Amino acid sequence: MATVERDVFIARPPEQVAAYMDDARRWPEWFAGVQSAEPDAAHPSVGSAVKVAYKSMGTTFHLTMTLEAYQRGRLANYKMDGMITGVNNFTLVPENGGTRVKSYFDYDVPGGGLGKIFDRLVLERANTENLEKSLTTLKAKLEGS
């Protein structure tokens, strides 16, 4: 599995950050590569799911992201199933009147050994760039920059 971890400081309280991040229909606004996100009626509650179309390196991956752990304003841990499997976790930590958003993305791609080589040579860099861009965009959206 490949792991990508990044964080960003957002000058907004955790409740405001969570209100925006928890609205899965808004993920395409800030989450780089997400083309569509369709939450079920129970989202964001533990066990709810979001159907996601994620594009990276010219390939669209269809995923189901199931919310495995959730504390509003503190954490949202998703399990990914579909063309990519793994976890995508977000932790919100109060800091200096704002919020430190930490993201942890641990995933596996199909294709056995060839898939792992492709991931290490190409896809991991693209996913890292997408996560960095996502957090930068999230910060800009919430801070009005």
Name the average pLDDT for the chain: 89
Percent residues over pLDDT 90 in the chain: 68
CATH code for position 111: 3.30.530.20
Q: pLDDT tens digit string along 73-119?
A: 999 999 999 988 899 999 999 999 999 999 998 877 655 555 454 54
pTM of this structure: 0.85
Q: How many domains does the chain have?
A: 1
- Torsion on CA atoms 28, 99, 77, 49, rounded to nearest 10: -40
Look up the domain containing 34 and give its range. 2-143
* pLDDT 10s digits, 37-57: 999 999 999 999 999 998 877
pLDDT band per the 50, 70, 90 thresholds, residue 23: very high
| DSSP labels, 57-76 | TTEEEEEEEEEEEEETTTEE
- Residue 32's pLDDT is 93
